[in-house]
Amino acid sequence: MLKITSKQLEVTAPILERIEGQIEKLTRHDVQLINPHIIITQEKQLFKIEANIGLPSGELFAQAKNENLYAAITAMGKKLEKQLNRLTDKPQAQRHATFENAEDDFEYVYKEETAA
């Protein structure tokens, strides 16, 4: 269940749709999102949006500021997606060489010596 907290701003249907669209992009990674919480604040001319989402393997946090609220929501979504990509693809990106077939590289030749 998505929880949105807004300070000094009313959350309208288009804002809600944009936020839900960004969160929906994260669900494509087949990872369970635990208690997604979005906080929207307006500071003078800037909109600040923060997202805190729990995962079974950790936690995602992103923050974005922009004069345009929709641009801030999109920037926050991109940051979250980048973090989630890093978390889900990390086990596959092993940067060390594996020692498979190490025994095949070694060849021993036995020669029998005969006395003449």
Structure confidence by residue, pLDDT tens digits, 72-90: 999 999 999 999 988 887 6
Enumerate helices (H) and strands (E) in the chain, giving the number of each. Answer: 2, 4
Asked whether the beta carbons of 28 and 80 are under 8 A apart, the reply is no
Residues 6+ apart with CB under 8 A from 1: 35
Name the residue with higher pLDDT: 52 or 99: 52
pLDDT value, residue 97 = 47
Among 21-25, 41-45, 55-59, 105-109, the range scoring the smallest mean pLDDT is 105-109
